[in-house]
Amino acid sequence: MIQKILNKKILRREEIITLLQAEDKNDIHAIFQKADEIRKKYFGDEVHLRGIIEFSNNCEQNCLYCGLRKFNRALSRYRMNETEILQTAKKICDTGIKTIVLQSGEDFNFSGEDIYRIIKSIKSEFDAAITLSLGERDFEDYKIWKEAGADRYLLKHETANAKLYETYHFGQKLYDRVGHLNYLKSLGYQIGSGNLIGLPHQTIEDIADDIILCRDLDVDMASFSPFIPSPNTPYKKQKPADVNSVLKVMAVARIVLKNVHIPVTTALATIDLNGREKGLAAGANVIMPNFTPAFYSDKYSIYPNKKSDVDPMPALRSILLAAGRNMAEGQGHSLKII
């Protein structure tokens, strides 16, 4: 049954659910093997590294699962200034990494023009692609940032279940999130979306719908992260996601989505010391090391004990070597636009 599904080109919802429900050791092995084959077919053994700069932990939203939520008064807030952001971008580029990810909460203290200026400066000084991960912003901002040279926008939908979406994100609607993603795509951004696995009330069917939504949105990158309960949030007492379930979702997503970039998330590396190695074996082809200065990074606590290295490169090189993979040299644009 599983093998029959794995031999198909396009999978229906029920088939995706069957793969996600697989428990038998041989079936799971076959799923991981297929995911690895597909990853190799499209991306070879190259792993794209994207250097993250978490430049502000301020956020206007109140997502129930997130330690950066506005109502978390216990969190000490910070904003990096433009000089610090550029210095960190230089540090990333000095390692040979060719994508800079500018990440923050929904922080409107950084105006559209501020971000425009930062993108322009990075683009004029470095040979690097820029991914923005700044939450939902004004459509006009997306437009000027694209004109400034931004290449990609990461905006996870978190759950494709509209009811759960409204539960987790007070006052927000899935319909709007999808609207933002479609608009970003229409502007020429390479878009990334994805979910959180293990959230309260989520079902296997919901996760199948998350993968299908990524397919329907025709994303360039899809990210599947484990939920980790964060103190000072309404979900602080909930159970964290199970590592093996997350790996299975990544593998099934690779089988369904084929040529999209799939990262090993920092959250996976946080809940499992060997999370990066395991993620690479489950269909991932991207790692996103964090270059935020340690003084700030500790405060970017979406969840506790976030994996963070002073210098992530030595560990990454040994992980790639052990996995028989190598660091990609280019900017790692979407295969869909090449």
Cβ atoms of 170 and 62 within 8 Å: the answer is: yes
Using rule CB under 6 A, residue 196 touches ligand SF4: no
Nearer to ligand SF4, 43 or 296 (CB): 296
Pick from 36, 46, 106, 205 the residue near ligand SF4 by CB under 6 A.
106
Distance of closest approach, residue 69 Cβ to ligand SF4, in angstroms? 4
Contact segment (CB under 6 A) with ligand SF4 among 14-22, 60-68, 117-125, 262-270 equals 60-68
- Give me the residues paired with residue 133 across strands: 103
Helix (H, G, I), strand (E, B) or coil at 264: strand
Facing residues of 100 across strands? 51, 130
From the number of C-beta atoms within 10 Å of its C-beta (0-12, 13-18, 19+), residue 172 rates as: middle
When binding is defined by CB under 6 A, the residue of 36, 46, 61, 204 that contacts ligand SF4 is: 61
Altogether, the residues listed in the chain come to a count of 338
Among 51, 135, 226, 275, binds ligand SF4 (CB under 6 A): 135
Rounded distance, CA 78 to CA 295, Å?
10
Sole binder of ligand SF4 in the list 51, 105, 226, 229 (CB under 6 A): 105
Smaller CB distance to ligand SF4: residue 43 or 145?
A: 145
Return d(Cα 117, Cα 108) in angstroms, integer.
15
**Which region, judged by CB under 6 A, interacts with ligand SF4, from 61-69, 77-85, 238-246, 279-287?**
61-69
Closest by alpha carbon to 131, among 51, 250, 226? 51
**Distances, alpha carbon 325 to alpha carbons 129, 186, 276, 299, 320, in Å:** 22, 34, 12, 32, 5
C-alpha 237: how far from its chain's center?
24
Count of residues touching ligand SF4 (by CB under 6 A) = 10
What gap in Å lies between CA 142 and CA 41, rounded to an integer?
Answer: 33
Window of 62-70, 116-124, 272-280, 310-318 that interacts with ligand SF4 by CB under 6 A: 62-70
Contact segment (CB under 6 A) with ligand SF4 among 30-38, 55-63, 88-96, 326-334 equals 55-63
Kindly list the residues in this chain that would bind ligand SF4 in the complex (CB under 6 A): 59, 61, 63, 66, 68-69, 105-106, 135, 302
